[in-house]
Structure 1
Amino acid sequence: MNTTPPAAEPPPADLLLAACQESVLLVDAQTLCIAAANPAAEVMLHYPPGALAGLPVSQVESGLSELFYWEEVSAGEYRTLTGVRSEYQRRDGSTLPVERSVRPVSWQGRTWLVISSHDISSMLMQEQLNARNSALLSTTLEATVDGLLVTGLDGRIEHFNHRFAEFWMLSPDLLQGSAEGIRQAMLQQMVDRHAFELWWLKTLEHPHHDYSFTCVLRDGRVIELSSRPQILNDRPIGRVTGFHDMTRIKQHETALLEARDQAQAANQAKSDFLSHMSHELRTPLNAILGFAHLLREDTDEGSREMVGHILTAGQHLLALINEVLDLASIEAGRLRISLEPLDLAPVIEDCLMLVRPLAQARGITITLQGAPAGQYCVIADARRLRQMLINLLSNAVKYNREHGSVSIAVSYTDHGMWRISVTDTGLGMTDTELKQLFQPFSRVGKHQNSIEGTGIGLAFTRKLALLMHGNIGVESEAGTGSRFWIDLPAGSLPLADRCPPQAEHEDSSSPQMATLLYIEDDELNQRVLQSVFARLRPQFCLIMAGSLGDGLQLLEQAHPDLLLLDLHLPDGAGLGLLQCIRHSPSGRTLPVIALSGDSGIEQAAAALESGFAGYLTKPLDIDVVVKLVDDMLAAHRLGG
Structure 2
Amino acid sequence: MFKKIRDLAIFSLPAEAEKGITEVRRQEALLKTGALQNAILNSANFSSIATDEKGVIQIFNVGAERMLGYTAADVMNKITPADISDPQEVIARAKALSAELETPIEPGFEALVFKASRGIEDIYELTYIRKDGSRFPAVVSVTALRDAQGTIIGYLLIGTDNTARKRAEEALLKAGALQRAIFNSANFSSIATDAKGVIQIFNVGAERMLGYTAADVMNKITPADISDPQEVIARAKELSAELETQIEPGFEALVFKASRGIEDIYELTYIRKDGSRFPAVVSVTALRDAQDAIIGYLLIGTDNTARKQIEVEQKLLDQRLRDQQFYTRSLIESNIDAIMTTDPSGIITDVNKQTESLTGCTRDELIGAPFKNYFTDPERAEAGIKRVLSEKKVSDYELTVRDRDGKETVVSYNATTFYDRDRKLQGVFAAARDVTERKRLDQVLQENNIELESAKFVAEKANLAKSAFLSSMSHELRTPLNAILGFAQLLEVGSPPPTAAQIVRLNQIIKAGWYLLELINQILDLAVIESGNLSLSREPVSLIEVMRECQALIEPQAQQRGIQLNFLPFDHTWFAHADRTRVKQALINLLSNAIKYNREQGTITVEFTASTPERIRISIKDSGEGLPPQKLMQLFQPFNRLGQENGAEEGTGIGLVVTKQLVELMGGTIGVESTVGVGSKFWIELIRDVMPQLPTGDPLSSELTQPARPNAAPRTLLYVEDNPANLMLVEQIIQEHPHIRMLSAHDGNLGIAVARTHLPDVILLDINLPGISGFQVLKILREDPLTAHIPVLAISANAMPRDVETGLEAGFFRYLTKPIKVHEFIEALNMALELAETGLNGSIRPSGQ
Normalising TM by the smaller chain, what interval?
0.3 to 0.5
Structure 2 length normalisation: TM-score?
0.36
Larger relative contact order (Cα-Cα within 8 Å, sequence gap ≥ 6):
1
Which TM-score applies when normalising by structure 1?
Answer: 0.47
